[in-house]
Structure 1
């Protein structure tokens, strides 16, 4: 048994610490790093992709298995170009941008103004900062580029690089990536989808009829989306290639408030199951709504760089289906057998950034501890990744105490017994203490050590990541322990 005299935690990691840890321990790498990378594009390493897939599975099962009226699809990335005309993306999926002529740097106008407002707040000019943001939001809502241009000039906003205010006029920048489809002489311009939702809307009737769904029902999807962001920053928080997890819930008009409140509560509960503290989650109601929305909130997490959106919940009315009906000239009505009426359903959307969830969990889990442990002779600080065990990339690590006397053979036999049900790693090099440290840093919840006693009575030492507690169990009970504590079911039953 581990005796811990002092055990305390803190999470004062900087954003730089988080990025360094993710890269150093196989979670996330800059893409094409040997060629100096590609801005705002990242690759997931061995532990990063395992964590990402575990989050995917938890979200997918929480949607499609726990709700009998939600099914899934996987729509294509490239869609008929009229799709984006109908959705408004072709004409309106833009961000105002501005260039500094001296530094040759390009900025998204809202981020540039928000950064200046933050500086004003730090200078105890909070009222001036608030007025600046309110004016900016008004101009953004009205798409008033001249107003934004004047606001930058009158606020004396300078470029962080050149320290000058030599700006170009503010202009709109379309965020969609385009490509050519078909033979070169007869090619059609198509777009990489900037969101996954439209693939759900155009398949509404296909799914409703073939899956025999009755309203209310939902369609869930996980997939890639692409946005040519003006300023992509903050590691994987804002990328040009990213992954979304979305669910569109189709409802009878007039019930939208009831279902909006339901999905708001349901999704907030999902984050609590992941162990996210209440003080790190913030609900941000939209004061100014998008053209398609009747109501909207953002669920925000307190990253090292502040509260930022990880999920949006929107009451989209019948905007999307009505627009596709108009442009496709095909009815997208639902016949309600109870009322004997046809209508275009309203929609409640939940849209999650999967890459942002990975970053959120890494941020929340990266812990520094002050600890004195007699059993491990550990004194001072240790760093661990305190991930929820069902989401951890590796569920257990198996160590032979020594690479001799039959211990290695027994450890490999245990590995063979468990590998069909769990992601397991085997390590035999370095001291046990260093092997523990390595597993703590990648978030492995259990270390299993085979020693001399194992060869005598078929028991192993279990060492728990979070408490550093050590105890012995028989080999035949290892699988039960891992099933009980590292299976996604242990999260699902809490919802």
Structure 2
């Protein structure tokens, strides 16, 4: 953590925005708790997002889904097979790093004796039931989008929405990944705010451009300096398994240019797998 970020972390703790998680027990790596001012700021952003993208529109509805879903959901969505990060292990100190976080040498001990990249699934398994023998293994959700696809027909049957329309949600997601240790950026437990917008296949490019501009407008409403925001087109070999096109909106953080949020055209991949 560089000096500038250390000052930000210290200020956030003193003012009651963010505290290290489980601090009185020595803390837990990359775990953070929102304090009295932090929770108000976080809630204000979430409420503003909900008003902006859901309540102010007549083509968007919301849901609030369970954190733990049937394991069949993650099998059908191919997350059990494809929701992975390539990891490299240092054979000297046995530290593991994401492939995009390491060069020719280990950042921890400078050894160049590194393993080949291996795929590591990011879903957190959880055991449901009184005993391991009689229970079922499921997973904490790695994204909140799947509930929107699983409930697609329920939403159609219970509302008057017609294509084009969207389903929005907010909530916790969990990813068992190697975190970079950059304060509250990319932790294992985090809040997501997102929506899935359903359109005719022949019109996806028009709507992709529309939502690209709307997402820029959302940043304006927050007062974000747009000169620090960059749109990065993700090449085919690096996109998620469900995406035909993805743009990442990246921000100039103190630790470098990193993802703020993304816009992806998921085609009919998810609905085809679930319905």
Give TM-score scaled by structure 2 length: 0.94
The structure whose Rg is larger is 1
Alpha-carbon distance in 2 for matches of 1:36, 1:45: 18
- Structure 1 SS opposite 2:11: helix
- Structure 2 SS opposite 1:228: coil
Query: Which residue is 1:300 aligned to?
Result: 250
In the alignment, structure 1 segments of 5+ residues that lack a partner are: 1-12, 114-156, 326-495
Query: Which residue is 1:262 aligned to?
Result: 210
Query: Which residue is 1:171 aligned to?
Result: 118
Query: Which residue is 1:63 aligned to?
Result: 53
Alpha-carbon distance in 1 for matches of 2:178, 2:224: 31
- Structure 2 SS opposite 1:257: helix
Alpha-carbon distance in 2 for matches of 1:280, 1:232: 21
Count of aligned residue pairs for this structure pair: 270
1:235 maps onto 2:190 in alignment:
no
- Structure 1 SS opposite 2:94: coil
Query: Which residue is 1:212 aligned to?
Result: 160
Query: Which residue is 2:269 aligned to?
Result: 319
Q: Give the deviation of 1:181 after TM superposition.
A: 0.9
User: Which is helix-richer, 1 or 2?
Assistant: 1
C-alpha distance after superposition, 1:396-431 (max 9, x if no partner): xxxxxxxxxxxxxxxxxxxxxxxxxxxxxxxxxxxx
- Structure 2 SS opposite 1:255: helix
Query: Are the equivalent residues in 2 in contact too, given 1:98–1:170 (CA < 8 A)?
Result: yes
Which of residues 37, 43, 61 in structure 2 aligns to 1:47? 37
C-alpha distance after superposition, 1:60-81 (max 9, x if no partner): 0101121111011001001110
- Structure 1 SS opposite 2:266: strand
Query: Which residue is 1:356 aligned to?
Result: none
Alpha-carbon distance in 1 for matches of 2:266, 2:107: 38
- Structure 1 SS opposite 2:224: coil
Query: Which residue is 1:271 aligned to?
Result: 219
- Structure 2 SS opposite 1:317: coil
1:190 maps onto 2:190 in alignment:
no
1:73 maps onto 2:71 in alignment:
no
Query: Which residue is 1:124 aligned to?
Result: none
Quote the RMSD (CA, aligned, Å). 1.3
- Structure 2 SS opposite 1:236: coil
Which of residues 214, 229, 245 in structure 1 aligns to 2:193? 245
Query: Which residue is 1:104 aligned to?
Result: 94
Query: Which residue is 1:344 aligned to?
Result: none
Which of residues 6, 11, 16 in structure 2 aligns to 1:21? 11
Alpha-carbon distance in 1 for matches of 2:233, 2:262: 10
- Structure 2 SS opposite 1:61: helix
Alpha-carbon distance in 1 for matches of 2:241, 2:33: 34
